[in-house]
Amino acid sequence: MSEHFASRRFLLLLRSNWLSRSGAVVTTFSFMLMVSSFLLQVFGILAGPYAGLVTFLVLPGLFVVGLLLIPAGLLLYRRRLGERMEALTHRPFRLLRLVAVLTVVNVVVVGVAGYQGLHYMDSVEFCGTLCHEVMIPQYNAYLDSPHARVACVQCHIGPGASWFVKSKLSGLRQVLAVMFDTFERPIPVPVKDLRPARETCEQCHWPDKFTGDRLVVRRRFKSDRETTPSNRVLLMKTGGTRPDGEPTGIHWHIHSGVEVRYRASDESRREIPWIRLVDRRTGREEVFTLPGVDPANPPPGPERVMDCVDCHNQPSHIFHRETEEIDRSIDLGLLSRDLPYIRKVGLEALRASWTQAGAEAGIRGMLSEFYAAKEPVPAEKRPLVEAAAKEIHAIWARNNYPHMKIAWNTYESFAGHAGCLRCHDDDHVSASGRRIPLDCESCHAILAYRTPDLPPYLR
Ligand code: HEC
Ligand code: HEC
Ligand code: HEC
Ligand code: HEC
Ligand code: HEC
């Protein structure tokens, strides 16, 4: 009975003014909606980024606002409260106990919802699809990458509290930038304030681990009438740390005893006039510069210690070159070599400038015209032309996003010649006359080059 009285008196308190009353209503409804939308999501009836946003961020927010309104109302309308208080002064302990129980319940609800909310903000869905227009290029590319099962936050934030807080602050800035449409298109790279790769990538890959060579087979084609195969086979000397602790191969740069530091003269880190190598194992220290740059007087700007991202700047959301993409589709048979000049006309279609809406019809029109007028194909091959138009549009669409100003090579990979030759160009010389090597065999053995046939062991 007494509990009953306590709760009645509590209701009286809530009803004592309009503010507390609204607070109670908001809290109760948001709680009920939270529970039901959570259950709907568990059973898969409700899905998508907005459902998550509402369940894990908006409703808990309302819940807390409602809770705060209750004491705010009591405080604001103290005088009216006095009238009601008479009924309450009787055995205040019971009432306090009820308030205490409800407070515990609220703390638990807010705690769980807050935890779920933070968890939700770390999800690939949240990062990749909520600001759909902005992130969709990276999200699509990511789904088709070796890291498709690694969450965005594992590279972009990594473990630890301080980067967590930093990321939430920068996230807030980004949300404002999207709301007020002040973000840059395309999103500029290199990403400023990216967490040092050694603290993120090395959660899963560590330089002491990689050793050995890696066979790279590039099934490429020529742009001739027959779309003749033109394969390349390389043995990449990826290397790392040998069992005896010595560095070797390409991952030499990130051996624990080696430090390669550099200064770039542009924001994109494409021009690197000054490089300092410190080899702590041998005590060797050497500065390599471009002609005309004084080794003792490096260009201004931040000095960067080379890490994974200086080569693997596109480890996850990988935008491919049009030549790579078209060769992959030809190799998989998605573009038929029975269509003469398919690579040539395909590349022309990929490189033409389309709008998002006009690309599909434009590409189909271009191919239809080519195979009607220039290289007429018999009726039974028309379906191949249709299929080719579809595939070429698919390639175009996953690499080109006019609304974000992303076209071919907007995000260029540095894990190939474009990246290596920033330093390995035979122009960087040290005081002793030593050059950063450019000989082909220091990075890879070329086992086959532009051959129509693959070596027997690969056929
Ligand atoms: C394997 C690690 C990794 C994962 C997983 C990852 N990223 Fe990145 N991301 C990077 C690195 C490294 C850069 C920095 C590139 C640079 O500075 O040049 C980057 C850069 C970006 C950029 C800047 C533009 C660009 O394309 O370089 C965006 C946007 C981005 N990431 C979004 C995402 C989203 C969204 C996800 C999840 C769907 C994600 N990333 C997952 C490593 C990762
Ligand atoms: C949470 C674990 C995780 C993190 C963090 C991570 N990776 Fe990976 N990485 C993987 C997995 C798993 C694979 C796929 C291995 C496979 O397919 O054999 C992979 C593959 C790769 C590959 C080989 C790609 C290929 O073509 O086969 C590279 C390069 C790479 N990661 C670089 C990075 C870089 C750079 C970072 C940091 C920016 C990073 N990874 C962060 C787990 C991770
Ligand atoms: C000097 C440039 C460079 C740096 C720095 C670098 N890598 Fe690499 N890495 C490469 C190249 C080139 C390959 C071979 C690519 C290929 O096979 O196509 C490679 C291969 C890899 C692979 C695939 C290994 C395999 O054979 O399966 C992983 C994983 C990887 N790197 C991770 C990292 C991580 C993590 C770091 C930082 C600790 C790092 N790399 C630093 C250039 C670099
Ligand atoms: C920021 C400059 C820089 C970039 C970018 C760079 N390197 Fe290097 N690299 C160096 C320096 C400096 C050395 C040491 C040269 C020396 O020992 O005299 C070196 C050495 C090497 C070596 C060891 C050569 C040997 O046998 O002694 C390999 C292999 C190598 N780099 C491959 C690569 C590859 C592959 C890439 C691109 C994916 C790359 N490097 C990008 C600066 C760079
Ligand atoms: C500093 C290291 C380095 C040097 C020097 C170098 N390469 Fe490469 N090369 C690479 C890397 C890294 C890749 C990318 C491998 C991949 O695509 O997975 C590559 C890729 C290639 C490819 C395959 C590209 C394709 O898809 O068709 C060829 C062919 C090639 N190199 C030829 C050469 C030749 C010829 C030389 C000498 C003039 C040379 N390279 C010098 C690092 C180097």
Residues 278, 261 within the same domain: yes
pLDDT at 98 over 80: yes
Q: Residue 417's closest CA among 409, 429, 425? A: 425
| Residue nearest to ligand 2 atom 34, measured at CA | 201
Residue 421 lies in a domain: yes
| Residue nearest to ligand 2 atom 16, measured at CA | 146
Residues 26, 163 within the same domain: no
Write phi, then psi, for 288 (nearest 5 degrees). Answer: -105, 135
Residues 285, 136 within the same domain: no
CB–CB of 3/98 below 8 Å?
Answer: yes
Q: Residue 353's closest CA among 411, 408, 412? A: 408
Report the SS3 class of residue 214.
strand
CB–CB of 345/367 below 8 Å?
Answer: yes
- Label residue 126 by pLDDT band (50, 70, 90): confident
Q: Which of 103, 121, 139 is the last residue of a domain?
A: 121
Number of structural domains (the chain) is 4
Q: What is the DSSP string of 42-66?
A: HTTSS-SHHHHHIIIIIHHHHHHHH
Alpha carbon of 118 to those of 47, 115, 153, 428: distances in Å?
18, 5, 12, 48
- Label residue 3 by pLDDT band (50, 70, 90): low
Residues 11, 105 within the same domain: yes
CB–CB of 90/98 below 8 Å?
Answer: no
pLDDT at 221 over 60: yes
- Label residue 89 by pLDDT band (50, 70, 90): low
Residues 289, 423 within the same domain: yes
Of all ligands present, the nearest one to the C-alpha of 142 is 1
- The residue whose CB lies within 8 Å of the most ligand 2 atoms, and thus the one to mutate among 152, 154, 204, is 204
Write phi, then psi, for 292 (nearest 5 degrees). Answer: 90, -5
Q: What pLDDT, in 10s, does the model give residues 276-318?
A: 999 999 999 999 999 999 999 888 888 999 999 999 999 999 9
Does ligand 2 have an atom closer than 6 angstroms to the CB of 308?
Answer: yes
Residues 373, 444 within the same domain: no
| Residue nearest to ligand 3 atom 32, measured at CA | 205
Q: Distance from the CA of 391 to the center of ligand 5, in angstroms?
A: 28
Residue 202 lies in a domain: no
- The residue whose CB lies within 8 Å of the most ligand 1 atoms, and thus the one to mutate among 129, 152, 409, is 152
Q: What is the pLDDT of residue 83?
A: 66
Does ligand 2 have an atom closer than 6 angstroms to the CB of 105?
Answer: no
Alpha carbon of 427 to those of 28, 271, 273, 274, 405: distances in Å?
71, 12, 10, 11, 33
Of all ligands present, the nearest one to the C-alpha of 316 is 1
Q: What pLDDT, in 10s, does the model give residues 370-409?
A: 999 999 999 999 999 999 999 999 999 999 999 999 999 9
pLDDT at 1 over 60: no
Residue 95 lies in a domain: yes
Pairing type for strands 284-289 and 429-430 reads antiparallel
Residue 200 lies in a domain: no
Q: What is the mean pLDDT of residues 66-83?
A: 84
Residue 194 lies in a domain: no
| Residue nearest to ligand 1 atom 30, measured at CA | 138
Report the SS3 class of residue 241.
strand
Q: Which of 102, 121, 140 is the last residue of a domain?
A: 121
Q: Which atom of ligand 3 is nearest to the CA of 212?
A: 26
| Residue nearest to ligand 3 atom 33, measured at CA | 308
Residues 65, 21 within the same domain: yes
Does ligand 2 have an atom closer than 6 angstroms to the CB of 200?
Answer: yes
Count CB neighbours of 231 within 10 A: 21
Torsion of the alpha carbons at 166, 172, 178 and 181, rounded to the nearest 10: -100
Q: What pLDDT, in 10s, does the model give residues 406-453?
A: 999 999 999 999 999 999 999 999 999 999 999 999 999 999 999 998
Q: What is the pLDDT of residue 382?
A: 95
Residue 197 lies in a domain: no
Q: Measured at the alpha carbon of residue 348, what is the angle toward residues 347 and 351, in degrees to the nearest 5?
A: 85
Report the SS3 class of residue 384.
helix
Domain range enclosing 14: 2-121
Hey, what are 272's tokens?
A: 């690197």
Q: What residue spans of 196-285 are helical by DSSP H?
A: 197-200
In angstroms, the CA 173 to CA 152 distance is: 18
Residues 9, 108 within the same domain: yes
CB-hemisphere CA count at 13 Å for 185?
Answer: 16
Report the SS3 class of residue 244.
coil
Count CB neighbours of 279 within 10 A: 16
Better-predicted residue by pLDDT, 203 or 130: 203
Does ligand 2 have an atom closer than 6 angstroms to the CB of 204?
Answer: yes
Q: What pLDDT, in 10s, does the model give residues 4-52?
A: 677 787 888 888 889 999 999 999 999 989 888 888 887 877 777 777 7
Reported pTM: 0.89
Q: Residue 452's closest CA among 374, 364, 372, 337? A: 337
Which H or E run contains 284? strand 284-289
Residue 199 lies in a domain: no
| Amino acid at site 204 | C
pLDDT at 2 over 60: no
Residues 399, 421 within the same domain: no
Q: What is the pLDDT of residue 386?
A: 97
Hey, what are 225's tokens?
A: 């009438």
Q: What is the pLDDT of residue 90?
A: 66
Residues 436, 379 within the same domain: no
Q: Distance from the CA of 210 to the center of ligand 4, in angstroms?
A: 17
Q: Pick from 8-22, 97-111, 159-173, 347-361 the range whose average pLDDT is largest.
A: 347-361
Residue 365 lies in a domain: yes
Residues 332, 444 within the same domain: no
Residues 300, 430 within the same domain: yes
Does ligand 3 have an atom closer than 6 angstroms to the CB of 84?
Answer: no
Count CB neighbours of 101 within 10 A: 12
Does ligand 3 have an atom closer than 6 angstroms to the CB of 127?
Answer: no
| Residue nearest to ligand 2 atom 12, measured at CA | 147
In angstroms, the CA 412 to CA 418 distance is: 8
